[in-house]
A and B are shown apart, each in its own frame.
Chain A
Amino acid sequence: MKPTGVIFFPAFDWAISPTHPEREERLLYTRDQLFEEGIMDMPEVREYHPRLATAKDVSRVHFCVPDVESRVTEAHMVSAGCAMVMADAFMQKEVKNAFAIIRPPGHHAMTVVHGNRGFCDINNEAVMVEYLRRTYGVRRLAIVDTDVHHGDGSQEIFWDDPDVLFISFHQDGRTLYPGSGFTNELGGPLAHGTTINIPMAPRTTDEGIHYIMDNLVLPMLDEFKPELVINSAGQDNHYSDPLANMSFTARGYAILNQKLRPDIAVLEGGYSVETALPYINMGIIMAMAGIDFSNLREPDYNPTRFKESAKNMDYIRSLVTHQLAAFREREKVVEANRKEGREYYGSSRGIFYDTEYLQEEQRLDLRMCPDCCGYRRISSSCVHHSGRSYSVFCISLPAACCPDCAARARQDYEDMKKKPGGDYLYLQDRIEDEYKTFETRTGRETTL
């Protein structure tokens, strides 16, 4: 039997600020627990060495304003690189599955990056997904986000991508950051139903979450048939987490992973550094490696402490029924949207960056392509932390882009170069794996 790949990157020399939840101490006790258990010495586990993601790896997903080097910290580049190391280990069949225990996290980072959002600069899972597609020709994937916070970054990145089933369960957005992830957020017009949100009431327990796993998540995965399942493995649903209000246990997380059987798991949030993380991380490794975890428990674990209320179970049951129906309707809805015959589908919104208090204004136009999921044009403006204001225009080709969309997108880019409005113009050409930046002021173009 092949081992489970593990990469442990605690970034012991990096913090957002000394007392921030994303500080050096976050994975210290996890280090102590993993090392003391000696789990990396076991034949069931193989430990890997981190590497840096390149600017090109990041540009496959993001438009970093003005560029990757000045926008993204080295810590985030290592974190994303670690996820890619796990992807390589898995695709090259060195391991049966893989777990990246890394920080900083990534699931709040969106396509356009003006700064840090929810502790994230870049989206580790998304960088890994586009790397998997580019390097190994993977097309269909599922991301199950088990962080207590809505994975709004991952949702936004894959919003218009019908080949990525993004499922997020999280504490209800009315009671927790980032305030999104409601049941009616189901994906873009050509990718409807491949974004599924499962907002849960505060204090939901193992029982409630496992009901959702068994009756909604696993059936959807069964029907979607992804080539790869990724767990965005946040650990802040734990009963002791200081930033949220759920009642999940370490054993609950281990059983979840036993059921989900993710090919690759990537740590996201989780800020109960002493009481939860050491035990949950152990539990996930053990579950993925097939090691019996019945002897694993938090110091204050009490099996009878949390009981799911009948009222919450009723809510969960109706939520599951509702979302399963929405998922099963997805092809019908997409077909109807296409039939409307619009050339572009436009939308506008504001995006708030909590870490640095930035407000971005964005307009997105999706081409309603009859042959593929369409390419995206995004115009975005934001006053950065430095006080400088940026307005940029971004063109993004999906990995499964049709030739017509590709030609139009490239033409759009050339046309825009001649009559530029903003500061920067970007082309994300995933077909050619070429990422262009055009600086309006100097007329300089760089290609990655």
Chain B
Amino acid sequence: MLIGIDVGGTYTDGVLFSEGSVLLSVKHPTEENDLEGTLLSVLDELLARAGRADVRRIVLSTTLVTNLLATGRGERTALLLLPGSGLPFSAYRISPDTYFLKGGIDFRGRQIEAPDAKEVEEVLKKVHDSGIDRVAVAGKFSNRNDAHERMVEDRARSLYPHMDVCTSNEIAGRLNFPRRAVTCYYTAMTMREWNRFADGIEAAIGARSPRSDVHILKADGGTTTLEASRKRPCETVFSGPAASTMGTMALSRESLNAVSVDIGGTTSDISLVIEGLPLYASKGALIGGHLTHINSFAVRSIPLGGDSRVYEESGELRVGPMRLGPAACLGGAEPTVTDAFNLLNGLGLGNADASREKLQAVAGRLGVSLEELCGKIADEVVDRLERNIEEMFGLWEDEPAYKVWEVVHRRKFELHRVIGIGAAAPAIIPMLAAKMGVEHFLHRYSPVANALGAAVARPTLAVEVHVDTGRRTYTGSPGGLKGTVEKRSFQLEDARELALDCLKEASRERGLADYAGEAHVYLEEQFNVIRGFTQEGKLFDVGVQIAPGFIHEYKGVA
């Protein structure tokens, strides 16, 4: 048996899943100040239903880190930057406690300027004296050479052993220094709280269901073990939308181009699925106004939902964005989008007479018939969703391209289906799909898609190696990856093999070894380094990943 629990901002959803069926689903309001308590109360109900049966795997998606970062309640954390030459230091407005250090590395990992040990010690003393004991260290091109970051870390650890120190090369290995600095800063800021939470959960689940593996859902729709999450708490942000998207994919299960529309009360969340894989935000997750190196789904949230109020203003029909309460048919005071679809499609939701009465009043003010009004509201809702979906296609098609081939074979999004989730989806999605000329997909498990998605999501892991045969080194992502290459005749196949080996190693470390065989190559670039007219070496960038998907025992829903 499997358990998935999604601790959302308003509600916490949990499912007990076995052999293609949801045996039990549980929904509790989320107690914001006691996430652990909420989570355990849901878990206890699910475990009670499971009885003596083994629950093999429990996957949790929580808003703990998201909340800490979004509300600015994270503890004071110092950010030590080694930016070297380039943008002015004023460009890095990340932490109020930012210190700049000497030291420079270039794009091939060569030292341009050495760090100054005395300066490092002075800065660490200042940090310590101002009562800060969490430190993030980030240097430009530290992903190509981590020596400077390590030097600062070593000084900090030996002088102030109580400090928590994170270095950016360990958090992310990709290019983009500001994103790496932000991600490292957020990691240092939340690590202690996350570990406290992980300790609590580990103990509580250990007592209740000692044979269950505990996994955490990440922003990229994959899971990681609770243990591995301790080093990278930031990866758990935005796991709620990821859970929903994974849930819709688990239900629809086809390698299609799809758009998933989660229609809630006040907002609709739109995400794209391309050939069966959810689309990531191209610039990484945006947290607290800063871009990060955290892979998260590209989700567009628009202020339009089933409970959006419908009213007349200066002779014009208005739909949303405000929500004043539930639909009239469900006892609300104002007519809503749901009321209009209720009448239009004869859904028989709640008290249809209330829908009719409240909408009639608006129709009267606009001087149109009730049928016309419902039609207009439906058109407006469908148009707005469609416009947003088209814009998302456009943005995806317009991503920068760096190769001739990519421009000549320009990508074009061809939609196959619209997947609906959320309470209002059955009313709206069929019309939207019909307008866009594609099929729609709704499932009876849609209301618990998020918890189901968490329950059956498999681990994900991406590894990118950067090999410089001229300098005989390789470095890479996830952070901390480095080594030397000896072979003179190192080729692309060798780089691919190296990347796969690194992925295997990383997946062993993280307890994901079962899935290492499912990795595929998603990035391959090679460049000849020519000086004068002779070749001095080669540069390779190879990326391999275990993409988002489902655990082996998941074979679809019955």
- Given contact pairs A36-B140, A78-B407, A42 touches B402 in the complex (Cβ within 8 A): no
Q: Which residue of A lies closest to B104 (CB)?
A: A299
| Complex interface residues of chain B between 523 and 540 (CB less than 8 A to chain A) | 525, 527-530, 532-535, 539
- Given contact pairs A25-B527, A52-B408, A295 touches B88 in the complex (Cβ within 8 A): yes
Residues of A within 8 A of B176 (CB): 35-36, 38, 41
Query: Are B106 and A28 in contact, with the CB atoms below 8 A?
Result: no
Q: Does B420 contact A (CB under 8 A)?
A: no
- Given contact pairs A24-B527, A41-B291, A13 touches B405 in the complex (Cβ within 8 A): yes
| Complex interface residues of chain A between 6 and 26 (CB less than 8 A to chain B) | 7-14, 18-19, 23-25
Looking at the assembled complex, report how far the CB atom of A20 sits from the nearest CB atom of chain B, in whole angstroms. 9
Among A205-213, A286-294, A346-354, the stretch that binds chain B is A286-294
Q: Which residue of B lies closest to A283 (CB)?
A: B86
Q: 1/0 per residue B151-185: CB within 8 Å of A?
A: 00000000000000000000000011111000000
Query: Are B107 and A36 in contact, with the CB atoms below 8 A?
Result: yes
Q: Does B315 contact A (CB under 8 A)?
A: no
Q: 1/0 per residue A23-63: CB within 8 Å of B?
A: 11100110111011111011000011111100000000000
Q: Which residue of A lies closest to B397 (CB)?
A: A49
Cα separation A23 to B539 with both chains bound (whole Å): 14
Query: Are B112 and A37 in contact, with the CB atoms below 8 A?
Result: no
Q: Does A214 contact B (CB under 8 A)?
A: no
Query: Are A19 and B87 in contact, with the CB atoms below 8 A?
Result: no
Looking at the assembled complex, report how far the CB atom of A381 sits from the nearest CB atom of chain B, in whole angstroms. 31
Cα separation A242 to B532 with both chains bound (whole Å): 8
Q: Does B49 contact A (CB under 8 A)?
A: no
Q: Does B283 contact A (CB under 8 A)?
A: yes
Interface centre among B83, B85, B410, B533 (most CB of A within 10 A): B85
Residues of A within 8 A of B397 (CB): 49
Q: Does A296 contact B (CB under 8 A)?
A: yes
Choice from B106, B410, B530 contacting A299 with Cβ under 8 Å: B106
Q: Does A74 contact B (CB under 8 A)?
A: yes
Q: Does B398 contact A (CB under 8 A)?
A: yes
Choice from A31, A282, A291, A294 contacting B91 with Cβ under 8 Å: A291
Q: Does B401 contact A (CB under 8 A)?
A: yes
Q: Does A98 contact B (CB under 8 A)?
A: no
Choice from A47, A75, A296 contacting B86 with Cβ under 8 Å: A296
Q: Which residue of A lies closest to B394 (CB)?
A: A49
Q: Does B488 contact A (CB under 8 A)?
A: no
Q: Which residue of B lies closest to A242 (CB)?
A: B532
Residues of A within 8 A of B311 (CB): none
Looking at the assembled complex, report how far the CB atom of B94 sits from the nearest CB atom of chain A, in whole angstroms. 11
Q: Does B141 contact A (CB under 8 A)?
A: yes
Residues of B within 8 A of A279 (CB): 85
Q: Does A297 contact B (CB under 8 A)?
A: yes
Looking at the assembled complex, report how far the CB atom of A32 sits from the nearest CB atom of chain B, in whole angstroms. 4
Q: Does B130 contact A (CB under 8 A)?
A: no
Residues of B within 8 A of A39 (CB): 87
Residues of B within 8 A of A52 (CB): 407-408
Cα separation A296 to B87 with both chains bound (whole Å): 7
Q: Does B346 contact A (CB under 8 A)?
A: no
Q: Which residue of A lies closest to B283 (CB)?
A: A41
Query: Are B404 and A13 in contact, with the CB atoms below 8 A?
Result: yes
Choice from B104, B179, B401, B527 contacting A41 with Cβ under 8 Å: B179
The bracket for how many chain A residues form the interface is 35 or more
Residues of A within 8 A of B118 (CB): none
Cα separation A11 to B176 with both chains bound (whole Å): 21
Residues of A within 8 A of B410 (CB): 51
Q: Which residue of A lies closest to B535 (CB)?
A: A19
Residues of B within 8 A of A262 (CB): none
Residues of A within 8 A of B529 (CB): 25
Query: Are A35 and B175 in contact, with the CB atoms below 8 A?
Result: yes
Interface centre among A25, A33, A36, A75 (most CB of B within 10 A): A36
Cα separation A292 to B92 with both chains bound (whole Å): 13
Q: Does B89 contact A (CB under 8 A)?
A: yes
- Given contact pairs A19-B535, A32-B107, A295-B86, A25 touches B528 in the complex (Cβ within 8 A): yes
Looking at the assembled complex, report how far the CB atom of B294 sits from the nearest CB atom of chain A, in whole angstroms. 14
Cα separation A51 to B397 with both chains bound (whole Å): 11
Q: Which residue of B lies closest to A10 (CB)?
A: B402
**Chain B interface, number of residues (Cβ within 8 angstroms):** 45
Looking at the assembled complex, report how far the CB atom of A53 sits from the nearest CB atom of chain B, in whole angstroms. 11
Query: Are A278 and B405 in contact, with the CB atoms below 8 A?
Result: no
- Given contact pairs A19-B534, A23-B530, A282-B86, A38 touches B177 in the complex (Cβ within 8 A): yes
Query: Are B528 and A23 in contact, with the CB atoms below 8 A?
Result: yes
Q: Does B399 contact A (CB under 8 A)?
A: yes
Q: Does B412 contact A (CB under 8 A)?
A: no
Cα separation A51 to B527 with both chains bound (whole Å): 24
Choice from B110, B535, B539 contacting A28 with Cβ under 8 Å: B539
Residues of B within 8 A of A78 (CB): 404, 407-408
Query: Are B107 and A48 in contact, with the CB atoms below 8 A?
Result: no
Cα separation A11 to B408 with both chains bound (whole Å): 12
| Complex interface residues of chain A between 293 and 336 (CB less than 8 A to chain B) | 293-299
Query: Are A51 and B407 in contact, with the CB atoms below 8 A?
Result: yes
Query: Are A8 and B400 in contact, with the CB atoms below 8 A?
Result: yes
Cα separation A299 to B176 with both chains bound (whole Å): 19
Looking at the assembled complex, report how far the CB atom of A367 sits from the nearest CB atom of chain B, in whole angstroms. 39
Choice from A7, A19, A24, A295 contacting B533 with Cβ under 8 Å: A19
Cα separation A120 to B215 with both chains bound (whole Å): 56
Looking at the assembled complex, report how far the CB atom of A121 sits from the nearest CB atom of chain B, in whole angstroms. 13
Q: Does B487 contact A (CB under 8 A)?
A: no
Query: Are B403 and A11 in contact, with the CB atoms below 8 A?
Result: yes
| Complex interface residues of chain B between 277 and 293 (CB less than 8 A to chain A) | 283, 291
Query: Are B528 and A24 in contact, with the CB atoms below 8 A?
Result: yes
Cα separation A291 to B210 with both chains bound (whole Å): 57
Query: Are A36 and B177 in contact, with the CB atoms below 8 A?
Result: yes
Cα separation A13 to B104 with both chains bound (whole Å): 30
- Given contact pairs A41-B176, A41-B178, A74-B408, A286 touches B402 in the complex (Cβ within 8 A): no
Q: Which residue of A lies closest to B539 (CB)?
A: A28
Q: Does B90 contact A (CB under 8 A)?
A: yes
Query: Are A49 and B400 in contact, with the CB atoms below 8 A?
Result: yes
Cα separation A278 to B407 with both chains bound (whole Å): 23
Q: Which residue of B lies closest to A73 (CB)?
A: B404
Residues of A within 8 A of B107 (CB): 29, 32-33, 36, 274, 278
Cα separation A51 to B539 with both chains bound (whole Å): 27
Cα separation A9 to B179 with both chains bound (whole Å): 22
Query: Are B87 and A49 in contact, with the CB atoms below 8 A?
Result: no
Cα separation A297 to B110 with both chains bound (whole Å): 15
Q: 1/0 per residue A63-81: CB within 8 Å of B?
A: 0000000000011001001
Choice from B88, B141, B404, B532 contacting A74 with Cβ under 8 Å: B404
Q: 1/0 per residue B503-526: CB within 8 Å of A?
A: 000000000000000000000010
Given A35-B175, A36-B141, 18 more pairs with CB closer than 8 A: A8-B400, A10-B402, A11-B403, A13-B403, A14-B403, A31-B402, A32-B141, A33-B86, A36-B107, A37-B140, A38-B179, A42-B91, A48-B400, A49-B398, A75-B404, A78-B407, A295-B83, A296-B87
Cross-chain pairs A/B with CB under 8 angstroms, 22 sampled? A12-B527, A19-B533, A19-B535, A25-B527, A25-B528, A25-B529, A28-B539, A32-B141, A33-B107, A35-B176, A36-B175, A37-B87, A37-B177, A39-B87, A49-B399, A50-B407, A52-B408, A78-B408, A279-B85, A292-B88, A295-B86, A298-B85
Q: Which 7 pairs from chain A and chain B are nearest by CB?
A: A32-B107, A38-B178, A35-B175, A49-B398, A292-B88, A13-B403, A299-B112
State the B residues within 8 Å of A (CB): 83, 85-91, 104, 106-108, 110, 112, 140-141, 175-179, 283, 291, 397-405, 407-408, 410, 525, 527-530, 532-535, 539
